Amino acid sequence: MMPVRRNASGEPVDALEAATQAWTLAWGQMIETGAKAIKSNSFLIDTKQADVEIAATPSETVFQIDKVRVLHYRPLAKKKADTPPVLICYGLFGRQTMIDLQEDRSLVRNLLNDGIDVYVVDWGNPTRADQYLTFDDYIDLYLGSCVEHVVESNGGKPITLFGICEGGTFAAALAALRPDLFAGLALAITPIDFHGEQDEFWRGEGFLNSWIGNLDGDDVDLLIDTYGMLPGAMTGAVFSSLTPIASMTKYNIGLAAMDGNEPAMLNFLRMEKWIADRPDHPGEAARQWLNELYRENRLANGTFEVLGETVDLSNINCPVLNIYAEQDHIIPVSCSKALGKFVKAELYEEIGFPGGHVGVFVSRKAQGVVAGGITEWLKRTQKKKQKKSKT
């Protein structure tokens, strides 16, 4: 016999009436969700590639070495800021287009609007022909040459290098090896200590570190020897697995929730376009990234070498701004903040962004916090600091 249901006051509830109410509410919600999904689907049907263009801020190639180019952005502000040019360097696991996703979510545009002279490194599209490139090539030859070019364009005076994620690791290493080239070093979501403070990890933080740490050196070697490259599809799958349910539901529940809202849908599609464009990582450099840095933590241990020279991060002698994301599921906070242990306290500053790894650049909140923070730091620490660099 079914127990008699009672309401909060202890009065019996009519079972048929309760069931009917529940049934009606459930159907109402499902119809509402269905209607939203239809709106979102209709929007997708009418949207064309041209509607989701990314990295549209005008620029021109001013330097090229092999596949690597330096893009110089046309100024957007009438008044130029009294700061050195900024060269932005993204990593090899994604494309630099993320920092210029769309007009209202663009680090590049925000800096240009503040009168900053902006250059960006485009690593190109590495193929198996690039599989033997190592960090010697990426840090010293490619990034070093790009920096030298911008320094030369700046009348031989030092510049600010802004490295993001893996590009931040390159930037920190170069700033330690050739400090004379730099008036300032900004980093965002950059791993320095690849092991981090594991006791401080929150749930979902540091999975990548544990996962790579669990691999044997032989596993990494087998992977690179077999593929020649670290396939972009593979790194993309690993990144997706860091947010399992979000990855599983974004094309169904997520799309329905957008209710065909144009700005939300276009932003979503631009992000998808950026995520899908994931290049293969050159094999030998990936082997170093996984074995020497992630597994052996050589940069933090002071044993990482570029062209036979040990990278000593305490050689960095320019103002440093280190931006980390408090909810970063790819680069744990402690892995980024470790840079503070190497740089003199009077030169070192941090901004902790309350968001995730990519949110640092593409979220609405980031437009003010990050870009604004960088501009303020540039103007405060690097004004009138310009002197001739020994290139």
Partner 1 sequence: MAKTDNGFEHMMDIWQEGQDAFLKAQKEVAESFQKTITPFFDQATSSENAPYQAWQEFIKTWAPDWDPSAIMDGPSSAIFTQGREAFMTMLDPSNWTKYAPEQLREILQSVAQGPQFADLATPHIDAANTWREALDYQKAAADLSKVLQESWTRTYLRFNKTHSLEDLQSGDVQEALDVWLKSANHELLETQRSAEFMDAQKRMLRASVEIKARQRDMAEAWSEAYQIPTRSEIDDLTKIVHELRRELRQVKRELSSSKAKSKK
Q: What is the DSSP letter of 202?
A: P
**From CA 39, how far away is CA 61, in angstroms rounded?**
41
- H/E stretch holding 165 reads none
Shortest Cβ 133–partner 1 spacing (Å): 7
| Cα→Cα distances 323→243, 285, 309, 351, Å | 22, 25, 27, 5
Query: What is the closest distance, in whole angstroms, from the C-beta atom of residue 328 to partner 1 in the complex?
Result: 15
Q: Which is nearer to partner 1, 332 or 373 (CB)?
A: 332
Is 30 near partner 1 (CB under 8 A)?
A: yes
Scanning 50-58, 69-77, 206-214, 294-302 for contacts with partner 1 by CB under 8 A, the matching segment is: 206-214
Ramachandran assignment for 229, one of left (phi > 0), alpha (psi -120 to 50 degrees), beta (any other): beta
Helices within 154-281 (DSSP H only): 166-177, 207-214, 217-227, 232-241, 244-249, 255-258, 262-276
**In the complex, minimum distance from the CB of residue 15 to partner 1, in angstroms, rounded to a whole number:** 10
Structure tokens at 305: 């070498």
| String of DSSP letters for 96-118 | GGGGEEETTEEHHHHHHHTT--E
| Residue 34 interacting with partner 1 (CB under 8 A) | no
- For the chain, the straight-line distance linking the first and the last C-alpha, in angstroms and rounded, comes to 89
- Does 13 help bind partner 1 (rule: CB under 8 A)? no
- Least distance in angstroms from the C-beta of 153 to partner 1: 19
SS3 70: strand
Minimum CB distance to partner 1, residue 216 (Å): 8
Q: Which two tokens stand for residue 224?
A: 């690179």
Is residue 7 close enough to count as binding partner 1 by CB under 8 A? no
Q: Which is nearer to partner 1, 128 or 387 (CB)?
A: 128
**Of 13-21, 94-102, 148-156, 168-176, which part binds partner 1 (CB under 8 A)?**
13-21
With the CA atoms of 235, 174, 73 and 81 taken in that order, what torsion angle do they form, in degrees rounded to the nearest 10? 130
21 binds partner 1 (CB under 8 A): yes
165 is catalytic: yes
- Binding track, positions 225-264, relative to partner 1; x by CB under 8 A: xxxx------------x--xxx--x---x-----------
Give the residue, chosen from 25, 44, 56, 276, that forms a contact with partner 1 under the rule CB under 8 A. Answer: 25
Cα separation, 124 vs 297, in Å, equals: 27
Using CB under 8 A, which of 223, 293, 320, 330 touches partner 1?
A: 223
Cα dist from 272 to 38, 49, 277, whole Å: 20, 12, 9
Q: Does 210 bind partner 1 (CB under 8 A)?
A: yes
Q: How far is the CB of 240 from partner 1 (least distance, A)?
A: 12
Q: Using CB under 8 A, pick the residue from 59, 83, 97, 131 that binds partner 1.
A: 131
Give 299: exposed, middle or buried? Use CB within 10 Å, 0-12, 13-18, 19+: buried
Interface residues for partner 1 in 139-168 (CB under 8 A)? 141
Judged by CB under 8 A, the stretch of 127-135, 316-324, 333-341, 370-378 that binds partner 1 is: 127-135
At its nearest, how many Å lie between partner 1 and the CB of residue 192? 23
| Choices 46-54, 68-76, 77-85, 204-212 (CB under 8 A): range interacting with partner 1 | 204-212
Complex with partner 1: residue 6 or 364, whichever CB lies closer: 6
> Distance between CA 374 and CA 385 in Å, rounded?
16
Of 10 and 58, nearer to partner 1 (C-beta) is 10
- Report in angstroms how near the CB of residue 2 gets to partner 1 at its nearest: 11
Neighbours of 387 (CB within 10 A): 10
Q: Which candidate, 181, 105, 108, 106, places its Cα nearest to that of 139?
A: 181
Q: Which residues make up the interface to partner 1 (CB under 8 A)?
A: 5, 18-19, 21-26, 29-30, 33, 128-129, 131-133, 137, 141, 203-204, 207, 210-211, 214-215, 219, 222-223, 225-228, 241, 244-246, 249, 253
- Report the catalytic residues: 165
